[in-house]
Amino acid sequence: MPKRVVVIHGPNLNMLGKREIGIYGGKSMDDINGEVAAEAKHLNVTVEFYQSNSEGELVTLIQGCRDAADGILLNAGAYTHYSIALRDAIAASQVPTVEVHISNIYKRESFRHTSLIAPVCIGQICGFGSQGYVLALRALMEEKLDPWLP
C-alpha cells in the first residue's frame, strides 16, 4: 500500500503568487501542489492537499490524520509562531510531521524566529520556496526517522 501524506497549507497561503512576491515568490499554491504531486508520483505515495485560513479547521484537519496518514507536510503560516492549539493537535495526531516555510523565517522579524510547532515536528525546512515542500516529502520517505524523533 502506498504511503499517504497530507499536505496542509495554513493562513494566507491561498494568496501565494499574489502577495509579497519578494518574500514568497511568484508561484501559486496550485503551482506548488503540482510540484509536490509530481514528486509524490515519482516516490509512489499518495498526497492530499488542504488549505485553511482558520486555526480551528487546521486543528480538525490534523486530528483527522491520526491513524489515517503516514505523514503530514505542514506550512502553518503565521500560526507557527503562536498557536499552542496547533502544537497540541500535531502531538495528539502522532503522525510524523514536517514543518515547512517558503521563506527563511530566521532572516525576518524576530517574532518569526520562534516556532511553537517545531518541537513536536520531526524536523523543519525553510528558505527554499516551493522546493521546500518537495524536500519535505522526500524527508518523510526516509525509512528510519525514529532515532531523531523528539
Partner 1 sequence: MSSRKFLVISGPNLNLLGTRKTSIYGQGSLEDIHQGLRQRAAELDVSVECEQHNSEGEIVESLQNAPGVFEGIVINAGALAHYSYVLRSAIGATLLPCVEVFISNVHAREDFRHQSVIAPVCVGVIGGFGKKSYILALEALVNLSKS
Task: Kindly name the residue from 9, 79, 101, 133 that is annotated as catalytic.
Answer: 101
Per CB under 8 A, the list member of 6, 13, 86, 121 interacting with partner 1 is 121
* 127 binding partner 1? (CB under 8 A): yes
* 71 binding partner 1? (CB under 8 A): no
Decide whether 18 or 113 has the Cβ nearer to partner 1.
113
Contact between residue 53 and residue 76 where contact means Cβ atoms under 8 Å apart = no
Q: How many Å apart are CA 138 and CA 15, to the nearest integer?
A: 25
Query: Phi-psi region for residue 5, left (φ > 0), alpha (ψ -120 to 50) or beta?
Result: beta
* 138 binding partner 1? (CB under 8 A): yes
Per CB under 8 A, the list member of 2, 68, 104, 111 interacting with partner 1 is 104
Known catalytic membership, residue 133: no
Q: How many Å apart are CA 121 and CA 73, to the nearest integer?
A: 10
Q: How many Å apart are CA 12 and CA 54, to the nearest integer?
A: 10
* 5 binding partner 1? (CB under 8 A): no
Q: How many Å apart are CA 36 and CA 21, to the nearest integer?
A: 20
Chain contacts with partner 1 (rule: CB under 8 A)? 98, 104, 106-107, 113-115, 118-128, 131-132, 135, 138-139, 142, 144-145, 147-150
